[in-house]
Structure 1
């Protein structure tokens, strides 16, 4: 649309924004947080949208006064863990794509859902796949045969170590090993940890 938005268009935008924001607050509850405390009639509003999951994404969203009739919401990936810069760029590009398809209608719910679908999952386990073990650690330690410090259990020698990932000031490194039973881990691991204890 050529020219600046008219007063009636701005009022219609404000009404659409109010309805959309109220819906987002109702749907996402604690994942929604205002970034400023300006009154609703302010020309631009900003809020954070957290995407729960392993990536800990936090989006900062700005609503220009001429959204949704003319301008796309302005967004940035404010916080993330393990999301590449190209993925962050793709998240923002996806907002523009969804806005262009919306033809003047609100589009944030569709965009947020697409981000949640891609980055909002947890690395979780089915409860039924986890074996519940009720053991007394003291009894286990007393019943296990002592082993020399250099006698590291076989499964500990088979640990695979991943490539370190540095995000801001923290470095993370994954370690994995295949085991077939709880006993295979608990006894040797407890003994190994006892031998490795260091007083601080």
Structure 2
């Protein structure tokens, strides 16, 4: 997956399908941000598919910057903010909610900084072998700090949830992070999509379980009445 335009478009179609199923299972408004993750993954992968096409065919070069900026906005801005925020919204225990609210604050900080960098500094994308390599000319002094904050907001948030399946999401994100860094360090941003389908299936399972619990609660109260 994500090693060609066709793979990216194919991944986008699969993720969109999972996303539609997930959204249809939503029972309460607070589930919407978390349930939207597969659909957002689909948009991100479609944008990278368009970037593959633009980089491979000069007839579509006008789409290069648009698709690159859309992809990087998802990768650098949306995920570090949405992941902790969406988990906080579906968490029920107060202790965990306080921790997740703090992690959401971390996400706001790193997402704001990276959004500024995307606008203020040069960005480049090129095809190298079977991957797209992104060059982000962000301030070197803050790269490590922003990377740590990004890790804290996106990788640690699922582990702070009281829900067991959410922790499985955290394990998958953690594995994706280390595998991308260790084996595809130059292409880590692009190779992340290899794990997007697995992450989306877990999101679907979490929403499905929450919806069942919600329905059972409603039935219980209805029976008592």
- State whether TM-score is above 0.5: no
Bigger relative contact order (CA 8 A; separation at least 6):
2
Question: Radius of gyration: which is bigger?
Answer: 1
Q: Report the structure, 1 or 2, having the larger strand content.
A: 1
Normalised by the length of structure 2, the TM-score is 0.29
Q: Report the structure, 1 or 2, having the larger helix content.
A: 2
Normalised by the length of structure 1, the TM-score is 0.31
